[in-house]
A and B are shown apart, each in its own frame.
Chain A
């Protein structure tokens, strides 16, 4: 089972905390990769929050092609962060890991946010296509205040490899996933967490409804709904589709992926609308076993389970710092002196929502709406 460790905090913290939590949850051989997505960046990035950050990996040739392409579009490089990698047995190093902060091309500087977001998305996709065949360019994210780091290997070793223990890299929300050992020879694009236009998710479990969901999303006519090297990428795109494209409040994500029965909907105050959602978004129903952890652009974090609650998942912490983990020992590792009796184990109807800045944990119950 893939391990999930998300931490949301009002203060900046190091991704090492997430990695230690992953290590605590480790069972058996487990080294097919780790992904980190950081939101609300601190350190050197704190002053650069309004500028988009391009995260990825390049070969030497890929870097030149990337620079040429970004220059052609008029993006201006403002700052570059690269991890100080050191050789670690079992980790195959690639040429160039980076998070580069760009300023928008001049013509886009005063354009509406929607236009800027579209530009970033299209640029990310174009760069991906540019280096996909020979893996010379691998791009994870291109968005303000978001940084992604992914590589194949054991999470602890990867932390060492990237020198994260000595790095100033910090953030207020960090999602980390350690991949299960059933996924060898993976493409890094299959590595969680996934991100699109402000929305990020990671999941464990098998998405048995992957094909119908992928076909539905691919038919929405939105350029970002591509990829799907992992069956879990659709969870992120469903979130984006529900909240950004359709403009629904976050908790309707739960209604979409685990729809209620008709008679259960009748008891909801918004039953009329929920009934429509159940029908119109029928292909987006997941059938689990899945635990989904994610965040939205305002910094809200959440956890939900499939309709049968076939995966573990727990949320706990203190005001100002909460962990959302796939197992309780991960929470213990995350360190805060919490009251364990307040830990929340979301059941099949629950969606645990942690407010921005880790201010408060609420449990939204699907039955009562």
Chain B
């Protein structure tokens, strides 16, 4: 006898269980097939149904029933082909006949673990609520008590330092005939410092990003430096960089990252003697805000020819980096040695700094670095950061928001009088809701010397579909419908690197204007308002108390 469950589909999921439901309009659809062709997940497919229609053709009503076979667009209920809500179908539809709609009642996370494999994805934490940064306001306005600065006419210098800064007491300077001179005979080690634009593009690897996306970002950054005079820098992410870039004069705009898998570093190390410019800095990745405790993960779908060459690995294999550096047994020794080794590789001419995930333990790391004369900065990545691939549980449930983490680290430095010596780089969450300038300015005022952005630039420069409602977020599968995070030429050909570069430039130029619009009425123009905490306030008393800023209501 046939089991009842086969007949009533009792063990199948309904469309209602999925986070996105395809709304398809029969009356508008002309059956061109573009939506089904473009769907990266194969969530929709053409199908046929038999329809019963009533017809009446004569001068008087004479209804007749006709049964007709017709084609429709059907959403699959197979969980491996779930609709991610990316909306590429809507984008290509000539007749506005199809659109995914978010279903807040979905039960997707109950089921997305077939075969005992937990749900893995790309993107960011699925938390659509505003971040703390978005709730802060700039409330100390100096326009009336004193002449305000003019964002349009006055000169502004929006720059920061990347690198260890010696305290004035330790500078090797002496007075000679009424002027200060650097004492060349002092033998004092002077750490390298770069003057950069205070918002950098954070670590996204070639591999995580498509060649077109990475090239677009790199071109945009280079244009900003060479044409616009804005010293914007960009971190490579783990996995190396193309040889021709490593050997180019543009290398000074890039920060190669070394992470626990050391992918790409054989090639980088071998190239050092052929480099014509030092890199801007070296980032050592110890943690990532989006997935604390997880290493980098480049899934086999994305390890194609170019990536295997840059990383020095076979094609088509998963490339998981360990959660921690295997050589690391203590921060006192191993981290210090790694910082020193990387410094030594470039003759101590390049700033070397670690990046960690936001954490209650960040202060312990900070205090260790403060006492390491070769540590150039500390980058802290908050839990609103994004990633190309991670376990959903890591992304949604682990991590520390950046606002209070950066604040407590800065105040720790203030207590030691060392706030100007070790720059703090804040990452993970700037621009979550699109308010990059406001978020970055808040982070400066909380104590960050520099802000690092990732997903913001992917959205602003390449229209990434992802959001906090788990839209799209298939960066891990190499199916990115925008061609941003894929190694599939069919997909990344959709992305024009020139357009990405153009958008990067537009984004930075407008960011610059917006930062001035914030700084001008607050009376800051010559240096960044780092630690100018009296400038911001919160409408939440608990937040204002935690961040030690004003409470306003």
Residues 234-246 of chain B: 1 if any A CB is under 8 Å from the residue's CB, otherwise 0? 0000000000000
With A212-B531, A249-B179, A273-B181 already in contact, the answer to whether A206 and B145 are too (CB < 8 A) is yes
Whether B525 and A272, one on each chain, are in contact in the complex, defined by CB atoms closer than 8 angstroms, is no
Residue of A nearest to B157 (CB): A261
Q: Which of B145, B154, B195, B531 contacts A182 (CB 8 A)?
A: B145
Inter-chain contacts of B534 with A (CB < 8 A): 210-211
- In the complex, A259 Cα to B527 Cα: how many Å? 9
Q: Which of B165, B420, B529 contacts A209 (CB 8 A)?
A: B529
With A246-B168, A279-B165 already in contact, the answer to whether A208 and B533 are too (CB < 8 A) is no
Residue of A nearest to B178 (CB): A249
Inter-chain contacts of A211 with B (CB < 8 A): 531-534
- In the complex, A285 Cα to B525 Cα: how many Å? 10
A221 within 8 A of B: yes
Whether A287 and B524, one on each chain, are in contact in the complex, defined by CB atoms closer than 8 angstroms, is yes
A79 within 8 A of B: no
- In the complex, A232 Cα to B193 Cα: how many Å? 31
Whether B166 and A208, one on each chain, are in contact in the complex, defined by CB atoms closer than 8 angstroms, is no
Whether A276 and B415, one on each chain, are in contact in the complex, defined by CB atoms closer than 8 angstroms, is no
Q: How many residues of B contact A (CB 8 A)?
A: 44
Residues 21-49 of chain A: 1 if any B CB is under 8 Å from the residue's CB, otherwise 0? 00000000000000000000000000000
Whether B420 and A216, one on each chain, are in contact in the complex, defined by CB atoms closer than 8 angstroms, is yes
Inter-chain contacts of A246 with B (CB < 8 A): 168-169
Inter-chain contacts of A360 with B (CB < 8 A): none
A282 within 8 A of B: yes
Whether B414 and A215, one on each chain, are in contact in the complex, defined by CB atoms closer than 8 angstroms, is yes
Inter-chain contacts of B178 with A (CB < 8 A): 249
Whether B166 and A280, one on each chain, are in contact in the complex, defined by CB atoms closer than 8 angstroms, is yes
Inter-chain contacts of A288 with B (CB < 8 A): 523
B344 within 8 A of A: no
- Closest CB in chain A relative to B535 CB, distance in Å: 8
Q: Is the interface of B mostly helix, strand, loop or mixed?
A: loop
B18 within 8 A of A: no
Whether A212 and B417, one on each chain, are in contact in the complex, defined by CB atoms closer than 8 angstroms, is no
Whether B418 and A219, one on each chain, are in contact in the complex, defined by CB atoms closer than 8 angstroms, is yes
- In the complex, A274 Cα to B529 Cα: how many Å? 21
Whether B530 and A283, one on each chain, are in contact in the complex, defined by CB atoms closer than 8 angstroms, is yes
Residues 187-228 of chain A: 1 if any B CB is under 8 Å from the residue's CB, otherwise 0? 000000000000000000110111110011011110000000
Residues 259-288 of chain A: 1 if any B CB is under 8 Å from the residue's CB, otherwise 0? 101100000011011101101111101011
B263 within 8 A of A: no
- Closest CB in chain A relative to B445 CB, distance in Å: 9
Residues 172-198 of chain B: 1 if any A CB is under 8 Å from the residue's CB, otherwise 0? 010100111110000000100101000
User: Given A277-B173, A281-B420, A308-B155, 11 more contacts at CB 8 Å?
Assistant: A211-B532, A212-B531, A216-B417, A249-B178, A249-B179, A252-B180, A270-B179, A276-B171, A282-B165, A289-B146, A369-B179
11 A–B contacts from the bound complex (CB under 8 Å) = A206-B142, A212-B529, A212-B530, A219-B417, A219-B418, A219-B419, A246-B169, A259-B527, A261-B157, A280-B171, A283-B419
What residues of chain A have their CB less than 8 Å away from a CB belonging to chain B?
A: 182, 205-206, 208-212, 215-216, 218-221, 245-249, 252, 258-259, 261-262, 269-270, 272-274, 276-277, 279-283, 285, 287-289, 307-308, 310, 369
